[in-house]
Amino acid sequence: MNESAADVARLQSLLDRSATKGGPHLRRTFQVPEHAVTAEKLVRYWGGGKAFALATVTANGEPRVAPVGVLLEQAHLYVPTAGDSGHVAHIVRNPAVSLTHWVDDLVAIIIHGKGALIHRESADYPALAEIVRATWWRDLHHARNGAFLRIDADVLYSWAHDPSSFMQS
């Protein structure tokens, strides 16, 4: 969790823009803007990472969903993964992705955007690998099969049952 004030402001701008893009059903069910989560609270909630469902598209246009961890690092989203995973192959062919995280009656987060592969030779790889080195992902790193997916969000919708008390300090 290394978000600067500028990172939080950039994330808040994405949340604000996204709120205007949501269709009537999303706006109604997410109770936008009354139940939206602010960027500052979202950063605190995200902490070192959260579990999401990642949706990608196969070469045949078939949807695939997998459970993944998602890091929020300097207001950017990263998925630690194996370089030979199916979702990496899907994103290389078609970068469209969706992510969903929810805890019943507490919080929901939906993200739509584009994914990009960050491989071992990428400039961002060493710093990201250091963040996750002490977790389950360590074995992939040592086997030289670790990779990251950077998710560039086009929209990010957030909802909290009680946003006024959600993640209070």
CATH numbers and ranges of domains, the chain: 5-160 (2.30.110.10)
Interacting residues of 167 by C-beta distance below 8 A, sequence separation 6+: 37, 41, 44, 45
Q: 135 pLDDT band (50/70/90 cuts)?
A: low
Report how far residue 14's alpha carbon sits from residue 6's, in angstroms, rounded to the nearest whole number.
12
Structure tokens at 119: 């491989």
Lowest mean pLDDT among 8-12, 50-54, 69-73: 69-73
Closest CA to 77 of 61, 101, 57, 93: 101
Q: How many residues does the chain have?
A: 169
User: Confidence band (pLDDT; 50, 70, 90) for 137?
Assistant: low
pTM: 0.91
Confidence of residue 87 (pLDDT cuts 50, 70, 90): very high
| 3-state DSSP assignment of residue 68 | strand
